[in-house]
């Protein structure tokens, strides 16, 4: 089964707020569990105060919108913090996770509104004084979109997952979204900011979460001015392999018979084969994404890109991550040792899931992963 997963604003051991959305290949989820997880996770995303309107413009969040029309990419929109917008500074680019949701949502219910966001507010708040924080929108997706839900506050809080079902990605998003689009659109934003005098010619750091963690290796290969990348719970191997591994693990744990697992693996391979046979199809979809998206991310393997790089890399993996299993990332670490490459920092969030949240939750007084990455960028 291909399902969608939501990555809300969560904190955990070595607290890290994800606050992005990801579609992922998941071959062992069951509908009832899926619904329970959706309800829990989206509930954590929603702001506590659902009775007071919040702003929906970039300026209200301290961001300035830039729009560039490109013949190949279409309309590319990106956002830069306004703190030091008239000064030259290093660039710190957030490449968020997957899905066609905007950077903020204005949810209107019966006598209440709430405005969840899908960009990393901790990263934004901790980079804007020293850097130009930059984040791109998705193709065909405005900064904020309105959802009208005919529900009360109580009904909404009991079933916040209806946000996902109510919002539909645009046709432009489905037609264009791919690894190549995300890389080229980010390069376009970098070129624009450099040509318009924003960059101080020092550092350009790219922070990629989840799907973004698969984008930043290719970005750094193609954009030589990028000086640092931080892939966080991305992938090391082919993303489409993750679902295959899950069936094998379930069989090894005795949760399925070997034959049941094999049958499921055969179904998965059949679907993957169809994706590769139709790599540019946008009228064929699975797991909430067009084949175009799946084929693009399943063709360029992160490890093959990362091994080409000599710039500093800070990679974060989570040992209990069901969406981006740590096995492929551990293999990447092994290969870096074999190749004698010393530019990788590999940091494991032990016992953490894809949201870098440990079982049972709880906060720590230690540094967040954002703090660790920022100190690393400053020190390199």
Nearest 5°: phi and psi at 201? Answer: 70, 25
DSSP 110-166: TTEEE--B-S-HHHHHHHTTTSEEEEEPPTT--SEEEEE----HHHHHH-TTHHHHH
- The least confident of 108-122, 128-142, 185-199, 276-290 is 108-122
Write down the pLDDT at residue 158. 81
Which range has the top average pLDDT, 7-16, 28-37, 54-63, 295-304?
295-304
Q: Per-residue pLDDT tens for 304-352?
A: 999 999 999 999 999 999 889 999 999 999 999 999 999 999 999 999 9
Instruction: Tell me the two tokens of residue 331.
Output: 């293999």
Integer CA distances (angstroms), 220 to 186, 214, 215, 325, 367, in order:
11, 11, 9, 23, 27
| Domain interval for residue 362 | 2-46+73-103+118-141+169-379
Q: Per-residue pLDDT tens for 105-161?
A: 888 889 888 888 889 999 999 999 999 999 999 999 999 998 888 888 888 888 776
Angle between helices 326-339 and 241-252 (to 10 degrees): 110
In a domain, residue 61? The reply is: no
Long-range contacts of residues 243-252, Cβ cutoff 8 Å, at least 24 apart = 243/25, 243/26, 243/27, 243/28, 243/268, 244/27, 244/268, 244/269, 245/325, 245/327, 246/26, 246/27, 246/28, 246/322, 246/325, 247/27, 247/28, 250/28
Residue 55 pLDDT greater than 90, yes or no: no
Report H helices in the chain. 31-45, 121-127, 153-158, 162-166, 171-176, 179-195, 211-222, 241-252, 258-277, 291-297, 302-306, 326-339, 369-379
Confidence of residue 21 (pLDDT cuts 50, 70, 90): very low
Distance between CA 204 and CA 212 in Å, rounded? 16
Q: Domains in the chain: how many in total?
A: 1
Write down the pLDDT at residue 12. 30
In a domain, residue 163? The reply is: no
| Residue 221: alpha-carbon gap to chain centroid | 19
The helix/strand/coil state of 340 is coil
In a domain, residue 322? The reply is: yes
In a domain, residue 251? The reply is: yes
- The least confident of 5-14, 269-278, 329-338 is 5-14
DSSP state of 58: G
Q: Considering the entire predicted model, what is its pTM?
A: 0.84
Write down the pLDDT at residue 362. 52
Residue 362 Ramachandran class (φ > 0 left, ψ -120 to 50 alpha, else beta): left
Instruction: Tell me the two tokens of residue 100.
Output: 């066609």
Distance between CA 245 and CA 238 in Å, rounded? 11
For 282, other C-beta atoms within 10 Å of its C-beta total: 18
Write down the pLDDT at residue 150. 87
Report the CATH number that the domain containing residue 364 is assigned in CATH. 3.40.50.1820
Rounded percentage of the chain residues whose pLDDT exceeds 90: 68
Distance between CA 281 and CA 221 in Å, rounded? 26
Once rounded to an integer, what is the mean pLDDT over residues 253-264?
97
Which helix (H) or strand (E) is 358 found in, with range?
none
In a domain, residue 364? The reply is: yes
In a domain, residue 161? The reply is: no
In a domain, residue 153? The reply is: no
> Residue 348: which of 363, 366, 362, 327 has the closest Cα?
327
In a domain, residue 233? The reply is: yes
Residue 86 pLDDT greater than 90, yes or no: yes
Once rounded to an integer, what is the mean pLDDT over residues 223-230?
98
């Amino acid at each position: 089964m291909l399902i969608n997963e939501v990555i809300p604003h969560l904190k955990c051991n070595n607290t890290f707020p994800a606050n992005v959305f990801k579609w992922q290949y998941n071959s062992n989820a069951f509908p009832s569990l899926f619904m329970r997880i959706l309800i829990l996770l989206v509930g954590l995303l929603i702001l506590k105060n659902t009775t007071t309107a919040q702003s929906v413009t970039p300026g209200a969040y301290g961001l300035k919108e830039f729009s560039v029309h490109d013949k190949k990419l279409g309309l590319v929109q990106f956002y830069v913090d306004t703190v030091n917008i008239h000064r030259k500074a290093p660039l710190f680019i957030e490449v968020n996770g997957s899905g066609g949701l905007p950077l903020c949502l204005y949810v209107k219910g019966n006598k209440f509104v709430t405005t969840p966001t899908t960009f990393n507010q901790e990263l934004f708040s901790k980079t804007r004084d020293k850097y130009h924080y930059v984040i791109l929108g998705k193709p065909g997706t405005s900064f904020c979109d309105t959802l009208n839900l005919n529900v009360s506050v109580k009904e909404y809080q009991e079933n916040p997952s209806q946000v996902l079902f109510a919002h539909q990605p645009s046709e432009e998003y489905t037609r264009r979204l791919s690894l190549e689009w995300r890389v080229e659109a980010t390069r376009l934003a970098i070129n624009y900011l450099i040509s318009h005098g924003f960059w101080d010619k020092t550092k350009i750091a790219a922070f990629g979460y989840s799907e973004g963690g698969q984008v930043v290796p290719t970005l750094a290969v193609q954009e030589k001015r990028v000086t640092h990348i931080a892939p966080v719970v991305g992938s090391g191997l082919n993303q489409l392999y993750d679902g295959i591994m899950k069936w094998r693990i379930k069989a090894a744990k005795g949760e399925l018979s070997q034959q049941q697992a094999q049958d499921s693996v055969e179904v998965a391979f059949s679907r993957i084969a169809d994706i590769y046979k139709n790599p540019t199809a946008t009228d064929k979809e699975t797991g909430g994404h067009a084949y175009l998206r799946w084929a693009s991310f399943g063709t360029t393997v992160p490890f093959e890109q990362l091994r080409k790089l000599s710039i500093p890399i800070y990679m974060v993996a989570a040992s209990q991550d069901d969406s981006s299993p740590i096995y492929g990332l551990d293999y990447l670490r092994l290969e870096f040792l074999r190749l004698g490459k010393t530019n990788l920092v590999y940091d494991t969030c032990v016992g953490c899931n894809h949201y870098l949240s440990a079982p049972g939750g709880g906060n720590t007084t230690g540094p967040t992963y954002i703090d660790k990455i920022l100190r690393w960028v400053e020190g390199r």
